[in-house]
């Protein structure tokens, strides 16, 4: 197979133009090409307003020598590739007495269960929340002013926290084994659009992702797996540093010598139980900040030099800065045409996240602008406690303040007020009457006391740096809302090279355990854990 890199075509090109351009690069006629498969499609807007689609394509020939064609075209963008499809390992030799238990049905737990079920291990999946359809109803009721249910919310339930997000699927993981491609293929097989297989920044959207999650669950059941909802794990059963099972709400007991901990980054009660069980873990660095909203038209213009060419998706951005005190500030979970959502999961505490539907057709763009924090920062809210859950204490302190500032509603403030800027200090690109797009109740409030001063100053310094990259980013009328505190897990549960904890049979997995960040990387980690279990046990 011949691969062509950086093959550029104008947006809106005809379907046959791709094969014609490939034939031209290879000095062939289109009739000599058997297939032309898009591996990657990205947008090149570096010389805007001139915009291109840039492709990576794989070409197969009807006949003739690929090596001869490659030599003849003398183009460094052309090479030969041999695709290496993903392969699940052969079963190991150890005999398991019980079926594997998987705690949590976010991307890590879902993909771990899917791979094990497909291989014949008939796993049992335990989810503290509800099925995705029932969960959506609870979340929408909460956003309309109803109660926050502790086990059925934006954080907990089938699909995990990623279900109520933009559904972004890009990852920075180097993927020589092909797991990332397999994740995308499985998602498409269960209802995701096929374009995610080649888009440079693929996303699904919360509306489609919900259906994909349900379809994957039904396939697990068809392969002989079990799924139990409303099954919050209350105790891990351990005997002589070997796991023997778990007990769930209602006293239900599940026995197994194989337990996967894919609990997500917000399972604070589970982390507390693990600390009591002396499971080795540590506090880790993460980041906190605020959701920042702009008119989507402003972001489109900055990236495309046009408000929104109809042949292009709503524009996104990725921004990073380093403050004078050497703190990292960066954008996170950017949602073009999206919504800020109330992502709370505990009474009296408030957290926000970002979400988009598949069409990304909301009037605002939002992202979290977050500041890196380390265990040295945690003492603000954790007092003398220096244990593995100090980051959770820090998160809770921020969320309690945010809840108080908004009196239970999402607190919102304009950036000019937050930064203490004099009015009319520069040209304004965001209108003074600009309003947020929020799922959940909100109110304007004073966010200046939310963070320790070092973090507030770093946030402002980052915003001003980003304004030099995207003019208007730090305009006075830009809307801030908070608190964005669940960017990643504040805990890392130790595991060894075989993916087990120092407690034999316990497999920390995914974002909650500190080994992933986002839907795709969590799914990949779930696959790795499934592979480790398969290499150990017979079917």
What is the pLDDT, as a whole number, of residue 165? 87
Please provide the average confidence, as pLDDT, over all residues in the chain. Answer: 94
Q: What are the backbone angles phi and psi of residue 5, rounded to the nearest 5°? A: -95, 150
**Would you call 31 exposed, middle or buried from its count of C-beta atoms within 10 A (0-12, 13-18, 19+)?**
exposed
Report whether pLDDT(278) > 80: yes
What is the pLDDT, as a whole number, of residue 419? 96
What is the pLDDT, as a whole number, of residue 469? 96
Mode of pairing for the β-strands spanning 124-126 and 226-228:
parallel
Q: Measured between alpha carbons, how far is 313 from 363 in angstroms, rounded to an integer?
A: 13
Highest mean pLDDT among 71-80, 133-142, 159-168: 133-142
What is the pLDDT, as a whole number, of residue 424? 64
Q: Measured between alpha carbons, how far is 98 from 255 in angstroms, rounded to an integer?
A: 7
Report whether pLDDT(336) > 80: yes
Q: Left (φ > 0), alpha (ψ -120 to 50) or beta: where does 273 sit?
A: alpha
Among 167-171, 246-250, 514-518, the range scoring the smallest mean pLDDT is: 167-171
Q: What is the mean pLDDT of residues 418-436?
A: 86
Comparing CA positions, the residue from 276, 288, 280 lying closest to residue 490 is: 288
Q: What are the backbone angles phi and psi of residue 50, rounded to the nearest 5°? A: -75, 120
Give the DSSP per-residue string, 111-159.
HHHHHHHHTT---EEE-SS--HHHHHHHHHHHHTT---BTTBSSSSSTT
What is the pLDDT, as a whole number, of residue 425? 64
* Banded pLDDT at 205 (limits 50, 70, 90): very high
Report whether pLDDT(312) > 90: no
* Banded pLDDT at 385 (limits 50, 70, 90): confident
Beta bridge partners of 80: 2
* Banded pLDDT at 310 (limits 50, 70, 90): confident
- Helix or strand holding residue 253 (H, E): strand 253-255
- Helix or strand holding residue 281 (H, E): strand 281-283
Q: What is the mean pLDDT of residues 451-462?
A: 97
Q: What is the mean pLDDT of residues 419-439?
A: 88
Helix ranges (DSSP H) in 348-440: 379-382, 390-406, 415-419
């Amino acid at each position: 197979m011949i691969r062509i890199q950086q093959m550029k075509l104008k947006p809106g090109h005809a379907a046959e133009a791709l094969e014609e351009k490939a034939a031209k690069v290879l000095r062939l006629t289109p009739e000599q090409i058997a297939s032309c498969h898009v591996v990657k499609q990205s947008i090149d807007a570096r010389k805007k307003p001139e915009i291109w689609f840039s492709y990576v394509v794989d070409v197969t020939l009807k006949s003739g020598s690929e090596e001869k064609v490659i030599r003849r075209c003398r183009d460094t963008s052309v090479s030969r590739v041999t695709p290496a499809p993903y392969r699940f390992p052969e079963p190991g030799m150890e005999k398991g007495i019980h079926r594997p238990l998987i705690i949590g049905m976010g991307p890590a737990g879902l993909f771990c269960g899917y791979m094990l079920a497909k291989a014949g291990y008939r796993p049992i999946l335990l989810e503290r929340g509800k099925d995705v359809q029932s969960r959506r109803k609870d979340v929408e009721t909460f956003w309309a002013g109803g109660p926050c249910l502790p086990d059925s919310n934006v954080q907990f339930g089938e699909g995990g926290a990623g279900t109520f997000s933009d559904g972004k699927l890009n990852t920075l993981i180097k993927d020589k084994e092909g797991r990332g491609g397999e994740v995308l293929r499985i998602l498409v097989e269960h209802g995701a659009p096929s374009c995610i297989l080649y888009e440079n920044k693929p996303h699904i959207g919360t509306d489609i992702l919900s259906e994909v999650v349900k379809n994957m669950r039904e396939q697990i059941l068809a392969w002989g797996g079990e799924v139990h909802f409303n099954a919050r794990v209350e105790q891990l059963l351990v005997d002589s540093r070997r796991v023997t099972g778990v007990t769930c709400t209602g006293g239900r007991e599940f026995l197994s010598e194989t337990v996967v901990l894919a609990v997500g980054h917000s399972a604070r009660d589970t982390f507390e139980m693990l600390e009591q069980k002396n499971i080795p873990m540590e506090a880790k660095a993460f980041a906190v900040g605020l959701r920042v909203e702009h008119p989507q038209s402003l972001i489109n213009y900055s990236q495309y030099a046009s408000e929104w060419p109809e042949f292009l998706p709503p524009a996104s951005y990725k921004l990073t800065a380093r403050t004078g005190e050497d703190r990292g500030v960066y954008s996170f979970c950017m949602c073009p045409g999206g919504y800020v959502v109330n992502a709370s999961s505990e009474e009296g505490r408030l957290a926000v996240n970002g979400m988009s539907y598949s069409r990304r057709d909301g009037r605002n763009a939002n992202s979290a602008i977050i500041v890196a924090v380390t265990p040295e920062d945690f003492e603000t809210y954790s007092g003398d406690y220096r244990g593995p859950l100090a980051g959770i204490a820090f998160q809770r302190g921020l969320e309690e303040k945010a809840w108080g500032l908004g009196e239970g509603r999402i607190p919102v403030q304009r950036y000019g007020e937050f930064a203490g800027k004099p009015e009319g200090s520069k040209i304004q690109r965001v209108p003074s009457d600009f309003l947020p797009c929020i799922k959940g109740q909100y109110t304007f409030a004073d966010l200046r006391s939310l963070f320790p001063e070092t973090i507030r100053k770093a946030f402002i310094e980052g915003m001003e740096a980003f304004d030099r990259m995207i003019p208007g980013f730090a305009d006075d009328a830009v809307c801030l809302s908070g608190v964005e505190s669940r960017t990643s897990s504040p805990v890392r549960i130790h595991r060894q090279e075989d993916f087990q904890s120092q407690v034999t049979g316990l497999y920390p997995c995914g974002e909650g355990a500190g080994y992933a960040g986002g839907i795709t990387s969590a799914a990949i980690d779930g696959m790795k854990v499934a592979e480790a279990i398969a290499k150990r046990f017979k079917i």
